[in-house]
A and B are shown apart, each in its own frame.
Chain A
């Protein structure tokens, strides 16, 4: 085992502190500083967590596909650990999107769920992510899980834009806050708040990715050491009198 898990405890603590600080600031700004929306009331503020989570989910899917391609090219299992961690985080943030969405939709649209475009495609995205994780966990060994996971991740990354486009063709109704034209755009204060929350969530994503990656490396090292110890115990004292 020539590769050891990098420690970098100082960086990790600094990163954690930054995330904690920004998250507190985000909550304060979202609930105390930014003006409320006129018609929707307080529930509109969930938007500042909903949108950054969606961005993180897409980031996770993109990273997972990129790391998967690197893994298939280089066959270095560290790329696979990163791909797996990205997919897990994409699933986590996609779940947050699917939970916060209906909480907003109930008072504003009057229903928890409709067959609307982005709801449907995000649910499909979530199902694909779950399929990816289930496939990995049902593979026979780590090598198989890595190769198959990479193949599914690349197919999914090609498929997801097509899914979003095709569902959009099928029907449409989601509030287009970010790219609205005319008088319906976002208030500058709201825009800044959204930016703050997005940066916070990206940093949180990066922190979790780093932690998950380190955990993966450690788990792999433990497996290798256990294997070596077992072999030594089996052949050691018995073989040499």
Chain B
């Protein structure tokens, strides 16, 4: 079978199983909403300008939701021994990996697609004409986060420490993405000129390319037994 077809099949399998059970997205949404509410209590937004804190808050929500989503997705592979089945099949393991990255990117994107409008309601701010760039920034940063996260989660879910270990590895590694996401959204929210964000968008894109390529090349070593 074709490499890309396998990746697509793995992603579709995850999406279909999620559409049937609907447990993951719903839980992630409630969790994200909860974090937003906590921030709403922690900071008094009648005094503090949302433009100063909002981008950071949104990225914290997406990082937490993202780490939960990725961790859960690999936990399922392990619980039902699904991954064993895929690895026994005569297919390239990295195609399986790309499928998992795609599925996780979509899950986190689904959360973002609901949380961003919700936070607009909650915190009363607007992106104005830059909304397309905000979507681009979110997409680029989510892909990179899902790629590095999936690579690490494939290891951490098989250890004794399990879920605890994933954020420990992923958050420091994703620091460039966090900075890029917060800076880009911050500049766009404040309506600053485009030159301020192109560098950051370029950084996110470069991060995605470097780590997708590195993860695909290294994935064989993660799963070989």
Contact = CB atoms under 8 A, between A and B. Distances in A.
Interface of A: 72, 124, 127-128, 130-132, 134-135, 138-140, 144, 147-148, 150-152, 154-156, 158-159, 162-163, 165-167, 169-170
B169 A170 contact: no
B218 A170 contact: no
A151 B173 contact: no
B221 A72 contact: yes
Contacts of B224: 147
Contacts of A166: 175-176, 179-180, 203
A170 B179 contact: yes
Contacts, number: 88
B222 A147 contact: yes
Contacts of B176: 159, 162-163, 165-166
B222 A159 contact: no
Contacts of B214: 154-155, 158
Contacts of A170: 179, 183
Q: Is the interface of A mostly helix, strand, loop or mixed?
A: helix
B36 interface: no
Contacts of B168: 127, 130-131, 134
Given A151-B218, A154-B218, A155-B151, A169 B169 contact: no
A127 B174 CA distance: 12
Q: What are the 6 closest A-B residue pairs judged by CB atoms, nearest first?
A: A138-B159, A166-B176, A127-B172, A131-B169, A138-B161, A128-B172
Contacts of B158: 140, 144
Contacts of B179: 166-167, 169-170
7 contacts: A72-B221, A128-B172, A138-B159, A138-B165, A140-B158, A148-B222, A162-B203
A183 to B, nearest CB: 32
Nearest to A146: B221
B207 A151 contact: no
Contacts of B165: 131, 134-135, 138
A162 B169 contact: no
Contacts of A165: 176, 203
Nearest to A166: B176
Contacts of A139: 155, 159
Contact of B221 (A127, A147, A159, A167): A147
Interface string B207-224: 100110011001001101
Given A155-B218, A158-B211, A124 B172 contact: yes
A36 to B, nearest CB: 37
Interface string B116-129: 00000000000000
B160 interface: yes
Contacts of A163: 172, 175-176
B152 interface: yes
Contacts of A127: 168, 171-172
Among A124, A132, A159, chain B packs the most CB atoms within 10 A around the CB of A159
A37 B221 CA distance: 51
A127 B187 CA distance: 28
Nearest to B223: A147
B78 to A, nearest CB: 13
B175 A124 contact: yes
Given A148-B222, A166-B180, A169-B199, A135 B175 contact: no
B119 to A, nearest CB: 23
Nearest to A132: B169
B155 A151 contact: yes
